[in-house]
Structure 1
Amino acid sequence: MRVLFASTRGSGHFHPLIPLIDACTARGDDVLVVAPPALEPLLATRKQPYRIGGEPSQEELAQVMARVLALPPDDGVSLMVREVFGRLGTAAMLPALEEACRDWRPDLVLHEAFEFASVVAAERHGIPHARVAVSAARFTRSTDPLMGLALDAYGPGIAERLLASPYLTRLPASLDPSPYAVTHRYHGALRPGALPDWWGGAEEPLVHVTLGTEAGALPTAAGLYRAVVEAVSVLPVRVLLTTGHLIDATDLGPLPPHVHAEPWVPQEDVLRRASLVVCHGGSGTVFGALAAGVPVICVPLFADQPVNARLVAGAGAGTAVTPTGSPADEPPVLGPDDVRSIRAAAEMILGEPSYRARAECLAEEMRATPTAGELLDTLEL
């Protein structure tokens, strides 16, 4: 079988596809990945063939993102989905995906949930397609009414067929019930590697601090990281801070000796050993932590992060600290009250075993779903 995978920019959008890509490769399927230029460095490290499509101009993206940041969170999400993922992203990626569907002739198209050009191309060439969840279904469902605005220009009924297509998700049903009639859950294998001992043999609990791959683009990014480090570094813990590649750890100033900073560390390597994750509430980080049975403190900044924070807190697998240090129409900052709240939340979770126990229960539920390969073997389209 030939399977075409399509993603928008951002590793958080691509990573949910990886277990399925690897399962197809293991089965002997022919795989082709089509993605924007921003993902080429990541795709170049993998063994599957790929093609690079187009992307909106930096000027266009900057104009839309300025409007997004000036809006209340829900309105900003709507604009982001409609304009960036919908109008601009679909137009930029459609030529490469049309060419792939026409010339490579896949038997199946699997796309992350906010990549729409592959759906248009698949519909035009009569190819079955399914969407792969990036976020919680509650968040994805809230953006579904925007699909018509994004896709009606490409043909009648495409949005309706997208919403009726199979919905594939790694997230556990108890945490993330799905409103979609055809929902399949799956999990990928955890293959953690060795984590260097950056703390000279110290054995205090390990706290992983990350704000994901996109927060580094915010003008307040360095201040956000400094505030979170200030919150947890006074505790009797080891801290691993990953900053992403958009800011430099030297921008954060001197760090305590028990705080180690890296641009990036494989998530599975950290989570196997972590006692707590303090993060922005991004789906990749949150659900990766829960799959490893690690409780989470979410400090949501934008997009789907507030929804994820509420889900984690409601499940008893962590808590949420919503930033209060900036107006809603300005880039987020963390004030002194936020720092104290994060510190108190970390002390509470590290001292109360029920949070870890609840996270481990969710991990067990996720492991009980079919593997990505088992799902592909039974998927009917």
Structure 2
Amino acid sequence: MKGWSWRSMLPPTSPSGSFCAATSGSPGQRLKQRSSGWSTECWVGVRRNVHPKVQPERIRNMSRYLFAIWDGGGAVAPELGVARRLIENGHQVRVLADPTLRAQVATVGATFSPWVRAPHRTSNDPSGDVVKDWEVRTPFEGLRRMRDRLIGGPAELVASETAEQIGDYSPDALMADYFMLGAMIAAQGAGLPVAAVMPNIWALPVRGVPPIAAGFPLAQGVPGRVRDAMLIALVNRVFAKGLPALNQVRDRHGLRPLRSFYDQVLGVDRIFVLSSSTFDYASPFVPANVSYAGPVLDEPQWAVPWVPPWSEDDARPLILVGLSSTFQNQGDLLQRIIDALSTMPVRAVVTTGPMIDPDALTANSNVSVVRAVPHGPIMEKAALVVTHCGHGTALKALAAGVPMVCLPMGRDQDDTAARIVHHGAGVRLAPNASAEKIRRAVAEVLERDSYRLAAAQLSSSITAELASSRLVEELGSLASKPNQPRQRS
């Protein structure tokens, strides 16, 4: 924290966020404590809610973080997982996000403010999706939509709302999803330390790695390097068209213009990649201010407990199926996966996610179709995961040492699938693969030990990375930095 003050110690909208009656004593001196779930600490000059796991000696080192995120499906759980870890370590967090995330934010113990003018979702209906990427036919069309509808186009609206939150909340640092460029601009304009978070693999172009959304393996030889260079040039051209508008937003917040669209992310104080550096083959090529913090494997708040319909002594291999938690028009693919597994001597749990009604799918008795269950406990017993290669599902499977059949449907899923295949931990099919092709791929991964051994090797690496992660400590150091002057040239 940047120095003690009465105002900086007050929580934003806590029911117990009022001044104590006591006025004597030194600032920061604790006078009394009472506990019921969340405890209420009464210090000279301030009364506030404290997470029940927090030790009293940590409170004086408390910092306040403003998170700026969006309802990005699988990105939400790891980003809120970071918020939960900060809160459990005595810090305070306010989350600026889509109204659809209010309940999930409350569950981790943070306070919530909704986006109002910036693009946002008010329901899970696909019609309210900001990007509607399932409509696009090429990766470049998808990138243009992301640029105009989410990343660059709304930057002024995102910046203005973030600036209002900074004025109201007085945070010590901003933690922004790497798509929230406007939030970074507002914080930099206010002189705050800024961290960008990538809740997946490294996503910006770097030499030596194919660009995001291509789904290509690592280049082998000159032809592959030429391929990557050409693709990166095309991707750069797409985002370069968003630079003039982005610089206009920066100018309004007192910041100098950028030479590259990507520099808005690359120029923040720290970038945290919530993935495994062993898994992501881009990790040797990233800039010096990037830290691989390891995957944050929190379950989504909407997952509910599940009781298996089979007896405990059923020896058939257990398979978990999980596609996107957002709409990607995945209903037909789910049915083809179910058709493939229904003819095999396996048990399968198919999780449809919030967007697909389980009753709309038809399955045999060996396949249980449910909307949402926690994946972690099932993966502990699973022999295989069939997935679209969302980063969260893929890294949970690898952390558990479970190989995969990959059916990526777009976004960064093809790139995650490419890394799984690169490490030998699974096979990859096109999303239009027939039920018979899916069945053969499942049989191959179940029968060949090499896939399981490769997944087990990655599991060991991920476990070691998680044990050594210093994410909370690094964020604490970031928040303790003094305010920076504006960067106007």
Task: Output the TM-score relative to the length of structure 2.
Answer: 0.67
Tell me the residue number matched to 1:331: none
Contact 2:357 2:371 in 1 (8 A): yes
Could you list the structure 1 runs, at least 4 aligned residues long, displaced by more than 4 angstroms after superposition.
61-68, 138-141, 188-195, 370-373
Q: What is the distance in 2 between the residues matched to 1:8 and 1:106?
A: 19
Tell me the residue number matched to 1:47: 109
Q: Which aligned pairs between 1:118-197 and structure 2 lie closer than 5 A?
A: 118-138=183-203, 142=211, 145=236, 146=239, 149=243, 151-155=246-250, 156-157=256-257, 159=261, 160-165=263-268, 166-176=270-280, 177-178=282-283, 179-187=286-294, 195-197=306-308
Mark the runs of 5 or more structure 1 residues left unpaired by the alignment.
324-333
Contact 1:167 1:180 in 2 (8 A): no
Q: How many residues align?
A: 364
Contact 2:81 2:298 in 1 (8 A): no
- Among 427, 431, 445, the alignment partner of 1:349 is 445
Correspondence 1:227 to 2:336: yes
The verdict on how the C-alpha distance between 1:300 and 1:140 changes in structure 2, with shifts beyond 3 A counting, is: farther
- Among 368, 373, 377, the alignment partner of 2:464 is 368
Identity of aligned residues (%): 26
Q: Which aligned pairs between 1:324-339 and structure 2 lie closer than 5 A?
A: 334=432, 338-339=434-435
The verdict on how the C-alpha distance between 1:310 and 1:82 changes in structure 2, with shifts beyond 3 A counting, is: same
Q: What is the distance in 2 between the residues matched to 1:68 and 1:338?
A: 20
Q: What is the distance in 1 between the residues matched to 2:87 and 2:120?
A: 33
CA displacement at 1:18 relative to structure 2: 3.0
Alignment RMSD: 3.0
Q: Secondary structure at the match of 2:453?
A: helix
The structure whose Rg is larger is 2
Q: What is the distance in 2 between the residues matched to 1:370 and 1:100?
A: 32
Q: Secondary structure at the match of 1:376?
A: helix
Q: What is the distance in 1 between the residues matched to 2:435 and 2:120?
A: 37
Q: What is the distance in 2 between the residues matched to 1:223 and 1:38?
A: 26
Q: Which stretch shifts more, 152-161 or 273-282?
A: 152-161
Q: What is the distance in 2 between the residues matched to 1:307 and 1:362?
A: 17
CA displacement at 1:125 relative to structure 2: 0.9
Q: What is the distance in 1 between the residues matched to 2:468 and 2:144?
A: 32
Q: Which stretch shifts more, 15-24 or 62-71?
A: 62-71
Contact 2:162 2:186 in 1 (8 A): yes
Q: Secondary structure at the match of 1:369?
A: helix
Q: What is the distance in 1 between the residues matched to 2:130 and 2:88?
A: 40
The verdict on how the C-alpha distance between 1:43 and 1:57 changes in structure 2, with shifts beyond 3 A counting, is: closer
Contact 1:24 1:31 in 2 (8 A): yes
Task: Output the TM-score relative to the length of structure 1.
Answer: 0.85
Given residue 163 of structure 1, which amino acid in structure 2 is its aligned partner? L
CA displacement at 1:338 relative to structure 2: 2.8
Given residue 124 of structure 1, which amino acid in structure 2 is its aligned partner? G
CA displacement at 1:303 relative to structure 2: 1.0
Mark the runs of 5 or more structure 2 residues left unpaired by the alignment.
1-62, 213-234, 251-255, 479-489
Q: Secondary structure at the match of 2:405?
A: strand
Q: What is the distance in 2 between the residues matched to 1:161 and 1:139?
A: 11
Q: What is the distance in 2 between the residues matched to 1:28 and 1:339?
A: 50
Q: What is the distance in 2 between the residues matched to 1:287 and 1:67?
A: 23
The verdict on how the C-alpha distance between 1:264 and 1:292 changes in structure 2, with shifts beyond 3 A counting, is: same
Contact 1:23 1:373 in 2 (8 A): no
Q: Which aligned pairs between 1:1-381 and structure 2 lie closer than 5 A?
A: 1-54=63-116, 55-56=118-119, 65=131, 69-72=135-138, 74-138=139-203, 142=211, 145=236, 146=239, 149=243, 151-155=246-250, 156-157=256-257, 159=261, 160-165=263-268, 166-176=270-280, 177-178=282-283, 179-187=286-294, 195-201=306-312, 202-215=314-327, 218=329, 221-253=330-362, 255-323=363-431, 334=432, 338-369=434-465, 374-379=470-475, 380-381=477-478
How big is each residue's C-alpha offset from its partner over 1:232-275, in whole Å with a ceiling of 9 and x where there is no partner? 2222111111111222111113x211111111112223222222
Q: What is the distance in 1 between the residues matched to 2:452 and 2:343?
A: 22
CA displacement at 1:23 relative to structure 2: 1.8
Contact 1:290 1:359 in 2 (8 A): yes
CA displacement at 1:139 relative to structure 2: 6.0
Question: Which structure's residues are more often helix, by fraction?
Answer: 1
Contact 1:110 1:131 in 2 (8 A): yes
Q: What is the distance in 2 between the residues matched to 1:57 and 1:189?
A: 24
Q: What is the distance in 2 between the residues matched to 1:180 and 1:241?
A: 39
Given residue 272 of structure 1, which amino acid in structure 2 is its aligned partner? E
Q: What is the distance in 2 between the residues matched to 1:161 and 1:57?
A: 21
Q: Secondary structure at the match of 2:401?
A: coil
Q: What is the distance in 2 between the residues matched to 1:140 and 1:124?
A: 26
Q: What is the distance in 2 between the residues matched to 1:138 and 1:96?
A: 26
How big is each residue's C-alpha offset from its partner over 1:81-135, in whole Å with a ceiling of 9 and x where there is no partner? 2022224553554443222212211111112222223212211211111111123
The verdict on how the C-alpha distance between 1:270 and 1:373 changes in structure 2, with shifts beyond 3 A counting, is: same
Contact 2:80 2:108 in 1 (8 A): no
CA displacement at 1:2 relative to structure 2: 0.9
The verdict on how the C-alpha distance between 1:82 and 1:248 changes in structure 2, with shifts beyond 3 A counting, is: same
